[in-house]
């Protein structure tokens, strides 16, 4: 595979040439290291460039594939390698938004973080399932029943309070939560599937949740748009 440089003129950016080897989850080697480095420089978070294709890298692959119109899959084939040579930018949801903001695309299950006007981070997420729930949990010293719609409301919000590390809520454990709409937060989770699965929060891969708090302060705009179609 190859990509054409811009006009081929002196001083132009050299073309990016991706490997052309099909990779499956669990693969190891230099092609995986190349994939990890390339994803990172494009704003995704595949973890360390250790040459091991595991779950952390898979979540970044899913995010990249979704941005580039490729059906999310664990297999790295010709379409994904080609897109890594000439990648698309994520869809801007709020064109006149603040230079530093978070945009959550519920349709694609993606979050894009802009810092000072530039894309800083792109990640796969899992939002509210929209399946009504009623659960009983021990809370404030006694069993209590909690019911809700499991929705992630669309709208314009701002980041508020946060917690470091694991935070216990009445609906489960949240890692490094950053709240932006009442009890709804960005947070790390051990399970971030390809479909909406949360009670309403925006789940992120654990490595991403470890990085986001250092990039997002209090009062940062959060724009939630779209609707996931199963």
- How would DSSP label each residue in 163-230? -SSEEEETTEEEEEEEEEETTEEEEE-S---SS--BSSSEEE-HHHHHHGGGT--TT-EEEEE-----
Same domain for 69 and 116, yes or no, is no
Other CB atoms within 10 Å distance of the CB of residue 24? 11
Task: Please tell me which residue in 124, 134, 147, 201 is annotated as part of the active site.
Answer: 201
CATH of the domain at 60: 1.10.101.10
Q: What element of type H or E holds 119?
A: strand 118-124
Catalytic residue of the set 124, 187, 199, 223: 187
Range of the domain at 39: 30-85
Do 108 and 76 share a structural domain?
A: no
- % residues pLDDT > 90 (the chain): 84
Q: What is the tally of structural domains in the chain?
A: 2
Distance from the Cα of residue 95 to its chain's centroid: 20
Q: What is the pLDDT of residue 11?
A: 55
Per the domain annotation, does 74 fall within a domain? yes
Is residue 161 in some structural domain?
yes
- Please give the pLDDT value at position 7: 40
The answer to whether position 140 is within a domain reads: yes
Neighbours of 209 (CB within 10 A): 22
CATH of the domain at 116: 2.40.440.10
What is the three-class DSSP state of 51?
Answer: coil
Query: Do 60 and 140 fall into the same domain?
Result: no
> Any residues with CB less than 8 A from the CB of 44 and at least 6 apart, and which?
60, 63, 64, 121, 122, 123
147 annotated active-site: no
Say whether pTM exceeds 0.85. Answer: yes
Residues 62 and 160 in one domain: no
> Is 134 a catalytic site residue?
no
pLDDT averaged over every residue in the chain: 93
Shared-domain flag, residues 182 and 138? yes
Distance CA 5, CA 198 (A): 43
Q: Which residue from 38, 85, 40, 121 is spatially nearest to 30, judged by alpha carbons?
A: 38
pLDDT per residue rounded down to tens, the chain (230 residues): 444 434 444 456 789 999 989 999 999 999 999 999 999 999 999 999 999 999 999 999 999 999 999 999 999 999 999 999 999 999 999 999 999 999 999 999 999 999 999 999 999 999 999 999 888 888 788 888 889 889 999 999 999 999 999 999 988 899 999 999 999 999 999 999 999 999 999 999 999 999 999 999 999 999 999 999 87
pLDDT digits (tens, 9 = 90+) for 111-131: 999 999 999 999 999 999 999
57 and 111 housed in the same domain = no
Q: Are residues 109 and 206 in the same domain?
A: yes
| Partners of 185 in beta bridges | 179
Q: Is residue 125 part of a domain?
A: yes
């Amino acid at each position: 595979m190859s990509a054409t440089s811009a006009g081929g003129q002196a001083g132009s950016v050299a073309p990016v040439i991706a490997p052309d080897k099909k990779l499956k989850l669990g693969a190891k080697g230099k092609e995986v290291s190349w994939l990890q480095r390339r994803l990172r420089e494009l704003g995704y978070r595949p973890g360390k460039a250790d040459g091991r294709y595991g779950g952390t890298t898979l979540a970044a692959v899913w995010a990249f594939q979704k941005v580039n119109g490729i059906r999310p899959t664990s297999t790295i084939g010709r379409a994904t390698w080609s897109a890594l040579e000439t990648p698309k930018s994520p869809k801007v949801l709020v064109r006149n938004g603040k230079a530093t903001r978070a945009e959550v695309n519920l349709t694609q299950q993606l979050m894009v973080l802009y810092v000072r006007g530039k894309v800083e981070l792109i990640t796969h997420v899992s939002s509210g399932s929209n399946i009504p729930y009623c659960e009983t949990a021990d809370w404030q010293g006694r069993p209590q029943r909690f019911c809700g719609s499991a929705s992630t409301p669309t709208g314009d919000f701002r980041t508020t309070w946060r917690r470091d590390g694991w935070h216990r809520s009445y609906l489960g454990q949240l890692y490094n939560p950053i709240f932006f709409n009442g009890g709804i937060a960005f947070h790390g989770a051990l399970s971030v599937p390809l479909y909406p699965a949360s009670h309403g929060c925006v789940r992120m891969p654990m490595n991403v949740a470890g990085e986001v708090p250092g990039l997002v302060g209090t009062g940062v705009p959060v724009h939630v748009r779209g609707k996931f179609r199963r």
